[in-house]
Amino acid sequence: MADVHIVWITAGLGCDGDSVSITAASQPSIEDVLLGAIPGLPTVHLHNPVLAYELGGDNDSFMRWYYQAERGELDPFVLVVEGSIPNEKIKSEGYWAAVGTDAATGQPIPTAEWIDRLAPKALAVIAIGTCATYGGIHAMQGNPTGAMGLLDYLGWSWKTPAGLPIICVPGCPVQPDNFMETVLYLLYQAAGMAPMIPLDDAHRPTWLFGKTVHEGCDRAGYYEVGDFATEYGSPKCLVKLGCWGPVVNCNVPKRGWMAGIGGCPNVGGICIGCTMPGFPDKFMPFMDPPPGSKASSSVIGVYGAVVSQLRKITQNTANKEPAWRRKGRELTTGYRPRW
């Protein structure tokens, strides 16, 4: 099939942390995708201002890819949006976020306008990171920009001309392999080698966000027996320190951060729910135990104490060899010869 271009807007309200994060991906790496090291993929071209080799923001260098995509000269292309989208309609003058300059007026082109121009012509639209997916930090209560995620800006039922809904890969920043794996899936889909990408109700890939932090956490066994950490540095369950892991959809404890290493609870940090549409407002204050954790930890504490004692009995039994394993002339295993 034709070459696929990835047009990446980093000019939302954000920190470019997602662009930096994906440079650590290895399953696949961004280099493998761009250099054609993966069989079956079309040739891929990346246009990301953080990773670009072209010169800055004038209309004759990097920005030409935006204009070509707008004119339909990059077909097909995947639009990636990083950073939350400010509401440009709530003020009388100026702009909240922009990239490039309008040649006719000499004024900056708002990020929201670029989304309006490019999204309807894209093969697929991906929101990378929590800011672009659901609004993130910039969209919290009290913000002056009216910031929102791409789902709210374009609409939760919005679809590309190819029939694809907005695809969200949240994280603050995004887990690098989660994003690159999603891109890989879409490239295979574009090549006719994969079915429609499966998404959950929050538009997240189901195979990446179908389980909770708790289900993949090495500390979950401590929760089961009601053994909780009371201070940082403990290897035990972090729920009483404010961890939201039991209700947050995220695979970081299972996958790690880079090369299978790291991830919030894996290194002693609580989960603050950054992959969830309700982040950050519904998870604040971050260090306080989640609602219901006191009741659930109390109940599991009673249950866990009983189970723990029963398991100790079984463990003591299992730590002893069977009685027939001893030296002697008598065979005591129960074996009976047939001839």
- Fold exhibited by the domain 211-319: Cytochrome-c3 Hydrogenase; Chain A, domain 2 (4.10.480)
What pTM value is reported for the model? 0.89
pLDDT at 297: 76
The set of residues, in sequence order, having a beta carbon less than 8 Å from that of 99 and lying 6+ positions away, is 9, 10, 11, 49, 57, 63, 66, 108, 109, 111, 114
DSSP notation for 181-195: HHHHHHHHHHTTSS-
Exposed (0-12), middle (13-18) or buried (19+): which is 317, by Cβ within 10 Å?
A: exposed
Give 206's strand partners: none
Nearest to 157 by CA among 149, 165, 147: 165
Distance between CA atoms of residues 213 and 249, nearest Å? 6
For the chain, the structural domain boundaries read 4-208, 211-319
The set of residues, in sequence order, having a beta carbon less than 8 Å from that of 207 and lying 6+ positions away, is 198
User: What's phi and psi for 309, nearest 5 deg?
Assistant: -65, -40
Nearest to 46 by CA among 71, 29, 26, 70: 29
Alpha helix ranges (H) inside the chain = 17-22, 30-34, 64-70, 111-118, 129-134, 150-154, 176-190, 206-209, 213-216, 220-224, 252-255, 293-318
pLDDT at 55: 66
Please report, in angstroms and rounded to a whole number, the separation of the first and last CA atoms in the chain. Answer: 71
Pair of tokens at residue 213: 């932090």
Amino acid present at 291: P
Query: With the C-alpha atoms ordered 10, 12, 13, 18, is the resulting torsion angle positive or negative?
Result: negative
Pair of tokens at residue 51: 């990773």
pLDDT at 56: 58
Give 148's strand partners: 85
Tens place of pLDDT for every residue, the chain, 339 residues?
Answer: 689 999 999 999 999 999 999 999 999 999 999 999 999 999 999 999 999 887 655 556 889 999 999 999 999 999 999 999 999 999 989 999 999 999 899 999 999 999 999 999 999 999 999 999 999 999 999 999 999 999 999 999 999 999 999 999 999 999 999 999 999 999 999 989 999 999 999 999 999 999 999 999 999 999 888 899 999 999 999 999 999 999 999 999 999 998 899 999 999 999 999 999 999 999 998 888 887 777 777 777 787 788 888 888 988 999 998 888 888 888 888 898 888
Q: Are 74 and 67 in contact (CB under 8 A)?
A: no
Amino acid present at 87: N
Q: Are 122 and 129 in contact (CB under 8 A)?
A: no
DSSP notation for 67-111: HHHHTT-S-SEEEEEESBBP-TTSSSSS-SSEEEE-TTT--EEEH
Please report which helix (H) or strand (E) contains residue 201, including its range.
none
Tokens 């574009």, residue located: 190
Q: Are 5 and 45 in contact (CB under 8 A)?
A: yes
The DSSP call for residue 164 is P
The CATH number for 4-208, chosen from 1.50.10.10, 3.40.50.700, 3.40.50.720, 3.40.50.2000, is 3.40.50.700
Query: With the C-alpha atoms ordered 208, 81, 28, 280, is the resulting torsion angle positive or negative?
Result: negative
